[in-house]
Amino acid sequence: MTNGTPLPNAPAAPRRKFGLLGCLGLIVIGAVILGLWGVGQYNALVKLEQGVRSSWAQVENVYQRRADLVPNLVETVKGAANFEQSTYTAVTEARAKVGQVKIDAGQLSDPQAFTQFQQAQDQLGSAISRLLVAVENYPDLKATQNFRDLQVQLEGTENRITTERQRFNASAQAFNTKRMSFPTVLIAGFLGSRFAEKQYFKAQAGAETAPKVKF
């Protein structure tokens, strides 16, 4: 008090300044937390997508193994007297189509490309199955060591194809489930095609099991 007059209250400006700094600090902390959460969700999607790509590489490997067996199979059956030419010609043509229909890991979210790839592979599998059924009528051919070796390799390859397709579908499902769950779907939507939904292999009509190649 000076000359009977009370002192004025403390200036309000410093209090407002501290209040603004506090709000700014909360905003910064919130932004950091949100950023760390976003990075975590992004990294989780990347990890799952890498799992899909790894599974796809195995699918490609087993399909290529089957395609590599076809020329030897065709040459073996061509050596049999009176073997139906149309049967092994269908296998050769189906293998050629497989070589023309290729997709890479970046197209695993493209329904049209994925369907075309599966159809080409399924057609080759069906053509091989028909050829192997036709061999039933040629006991001398079935008895040759070369054919029996091919028979074992084809049986193993078809089983591996079934297994790797199942593993691919499992990894694609894990990715899609994470991608479509909230709030990860917000990150995926923001990034657009970078994390698009992956496609699945579908069972071929009438081919729920691997082709029978054992006689």
In a domain, 25, yes or no: no
Confidence bin at 82 (pLDDT 50/70/90): confident
In a domain, 147, yes or no: yes
Indicate if the pLDDT at residue 8 is higher than 70.
Answer: no
Q: Which residue has the tokens 């909230």?
A: 182
Indicate if the pLDDT at residue 189 is higher than 50.
Answer: yes
In a domain, 107, yes or no: yes
Residues 62 and 167 sit within 8 Å (Cβ to Cβ): no
Read off the pLDDT of each residue in 107-133 and give the average, rounded to a whole number: 95
Query: Residue 5: phi, psi to the nearest 5?
Result: -105, 125
What is the pLDDT of the chain when averaged over all its residues?
85
Residue 112 domain boundaries? 44-195
Q: Which residues pair with 5 in a beta bridge?
A: 2
The percentage of the chain sitting over the pLDDT mark of 90, rounded to a whole number, equals: 57
Indicate if the pLDDT at residue 112 is higher than 60.
Answer: yes
- Give 81's DSSP letter: T
Q: Residue 175 is part of a domain; what is its CATH number?
A: 1.20.1440.20
Q: What is the pLDDT of residue 83?
A: 85
Rounded Cα distance between 126 and 98, Å, is 13
Count of structural domains, the chain: 1
In a domain, 215, yes or no: no
Q: What is the pLDDT of residue 27?
A: 77
In a domain, 15, yes or no: no
Report cis status (omega within 30 of 0) of the bond before 111. Answer: no
In a domain, 116, yes or no: yes
Q: State pLDDT tens for residues 130-185.
A: 999 999 889 989 889 999 999 999 999 999 999 999 999 999 999 999 999 988 88
Q: What is the pLDDT of residue 166?
A: 96
Q: What is the pLDDT of residue 213?
A: 46
- Give 181's DSSP letter: S
Indicate if the pLDDT at residue 74 is higher than 70.
Answer: yes
